[in-house]
A = this chain, B = another copy of it.
Amino acid sequence: MSAGIRVTVWNEGIHEKELPRCQAVYPDGMGKAIGQYLEQQSDIASVHYSELADPDQGLSDAILDNTDVMTWWGHTAHDKVTDANAERVQKRVLAGMGLIVLHSGHMSKPFMRLMGTGCFLKWREYGEDGEKERLWVVDPSHPIVDGVPEYIELPNTEMYGEPFGIPQPDQQVFISWFQGGEVFRSGCCWHREAGKVFYFRPGHETFPIYFNEHIRKVIHNAVRWAAPVRLADGFIQGNVQPLEKME
């Protein structure tokens, strides 16, 4: 990764156009809010912005060929992503691409395919101001929490609660406390064949969470953690000859 990590920020891009509260909070769009901190980092080679409305839904092979790690934000149009594109993203992850799934992306097609589970959860949008969330670090050895405080407090957010329909994470990094009485596994790592997936709960279209410095640091750390690894000569799956002499 000495040449730097090439990131694609995939953003549904609908709430920004249709929801005044979202426009007010994210005047340049949610994708930009997610990517602009990454653009400033020395280990990030490039940040490409893709949206659902783009040609090929922003998921062409040309774009994916230039993506080491993809972040994914979607909410209201998960079903608009074509099955072919969802499968393309899934296969890229299995071949090495990192995937950072944010907030309501838990029901996105690529994430659900990669998890193999329903990925559903409890949720609550409480009034205009939402409620308080506190993300506690439970694995202080994990590179994703480097430079992060022992908890991140978000005063206004939507609630997600357990049971969250996911496989037990390979590495559990954050667990959230919610004002209304629920908990949630809010930072979860999975290795999937040659690729890595991080689910990170924070973020909502009407709260300025992607401007929070700690949230940004976690996403940057996650991009670094999820960057592809390459075996020297790849690996073989298929019909093979014996390595040992057979009698």
Contact = CB atoms under 8 A, between A and B. Distances in A.
B146 A165 contact: no
Contacts of A159: 242
Could you say which of A117, A170, A195 has the most chain B C-beta atoms within 10 Å of its C-beta?
A: A117
A177 interface: yes
Interface residues of A, number: 77
A146 to B, nearest CB: 5
A176 B171 contact: no
A205 to B, nearest CB: 17
Could you say which of A115, A131, A137, A175 has the most chain B C-beta atoms within 10 Å of its C-beta?
A: A175
Interface in A82-116: 90-91, 94, 96, 113-116
A67 to B, nearest CB: 16
B175 A191 contact: no
Given A150-B231, A162-B137, A164-B138, A243 B180 contact: yes
A185 B175 contact: yes
Contacts of A149: 231-233
24 contacts: A96-B141, A113-B116, A116-B192, A123-B238, A124-B242, A138-B162, A138-B185, A140-B235, A141-B192, A146-B231, A149-B233, A163-B193, A165-B193, A167-B190, A167-B191, A167-B192, A170-B171, A172-B172, A175-B183, A176-B183, A177-B178, A179-B242, A181-B243, A183-B183
Interface of A: 90-91, 94, 96, 113-118, 120-124, 126, 131, 134, 136-143, 145-150, 159, 161-165, 167-168, 170-172, 175-183, 185, 190-196, 229-244, 246
Nearest to A150: B235
Nearest to A91: B118
A116 B89 CA distance: 12
Contacts of A121: 237
B180 A244 contact: yes
